Every structure is written in structure tokens, then in C-alpha cells.
Amino acid sequence: MSQNDSFVQKLFSPSGRSGRLDFLLTWLVSIALVLILIGIYTVIVAYIRRWHDLGKSGWFTLLILVPIVNVVMFLYLLFAPGVKQSNAGKPA
């Protein structure tokens, strides 16, 4: 690795050397990426469980990718009462 290598190249390559600052930055970026991924996963799971509580498919969670629709969907999920059935359609 040379001095001109980008940080991304250094982040994913085991060859070469790493000073203290590079080591710290690599560690911080790795932790940040893990936290972001855990956050995204947790939010998606919460949305899916809420859709199930409303007696609907968890696939509706994909609507969070549509601008403006995602805001309306969030408000619906926040205020709509759940159904009194289990996920399989049987009484709770």
C-alpha cells in the first residue's frame, strides 16, 4: 500500500501497514457501519411486526422506500388499532 491509496482501499485490504490514526478511523467506521445496519434491521422488524398486528402482510414495509407514502404509512401504523386476531387469522 502506498501513501496515495484511498481510505476505502485501506479499509478493506489486509496488506500494508496502518498507523494509529488509520487504525482508529478504521475501527470507528466499522463500528458506525455495524450500528447503522443494526438500526435499519431493527426498524424494518418493527414495521413488519406492526403490519402483522394490523392483519396485513409484512411486505407493505417496502413502502418506506417511496417518498411521501412512507410518511403517510408511518402515521397509519402509529395510529391504526390492531386487529383482534392472530397472524394466522385465528382469534387471539
Q: What is the pLDDT of residues 40-84, one digit of tens each?
A: 999 999 999 999 999 999 999 999 999 999 999 999 999 999 988
pLDDT of residue 37: 95
Residue 41 phi/psi, 5-degree rounding, is -60, -45
Residue 12 has pLDDT above 80, yes or no: no
Do 58 and 40 meet the contact criterion of CB atoms below 8 Å apart? Answer: no
pTM (two decimals): 0.66
Amino acid letter, 66: V
Residue 35 has pLDDT above 90, yes or no: yes
DSSP state of 6: -
Residue 91 phi/psi, 5-degree rounding, is -60, 140
CA dist 69 and 1 (Å) reads 47
